[in-house]
Amino acid sequence: MEIRRGEGYRTRTSTSYMFSLNPNSYTDAMLLKELRQSVKEYNRNLKENSNPDGTRYFKRVTVKYRDAKVKTGRNAYTYHGDLIGGKENSNRWDIYVQDRRMYDDNYRLIRN
């Protein structure tokens, strides 16, 4: 399995960026499914066992659709960086694994 990290694309500044996937590839779709399942199991395990300092760092998988097949109007992206037309209009999926929220042992949200 070849992971295409930044091949010919701009330099990434996000630490949450993992890799890019081809939406037409069955193996890439299975990789995304396995990643989502492993993050789900990580969060479930973290719910049962907290860190020594009592905080929990849950994760989430975010898929951003890139490289529009058909550019609609003036821009192909919304203000938040989402592709207009969704996954049907994308040639590439960027996968991010982000920190969701921080909770203490009493499941209260910790604000920085």
Do the domain assignments include residue 88?
yes
pLDDT above 70 covers a percentage of the chain that reads: 77
Quote the pTM value.
0.72
Assess if residue 108 is contained within a domain.
no
pLDDT digits (tens, 9 = 90+) for 8-46: 555 667 888 888 999 999 999 999 999 999 999 998 888
What range defines the domain where residue 44 resides?
17-103
> Could you tell me which of 63, 65, 62, 70 has the C-alpha nearest to residue 92?
65
The pLDDT score that the predictor gives to residue 32 is 94
Domain count along the chain = 1
Residue at 87 is within a domain: yes
pLDDT tens digits, 49-58:
766 666 677 8
Question: Is 98 within a domain?
Answer: yes
- Return the structure tokens found at 14: 């996000």
User: What single string gives the DSSP state of each residue in 59-84?
Assistant: EEEEEEEEEESS--SS-SB-TTSPBT
Contacts of 44 (CB under 8 A, 6+ apart): none
Does residue 36 lie within any of the structural domains?
yes
Instruction: Work out the mean pLDDT of the chain and round it to a whole number.
Output: 80
Q: Given its phi and psi angles, is residue 9 left (phi above 0), alpha (psi -120 to 50 degrees) or beta?
A: beta
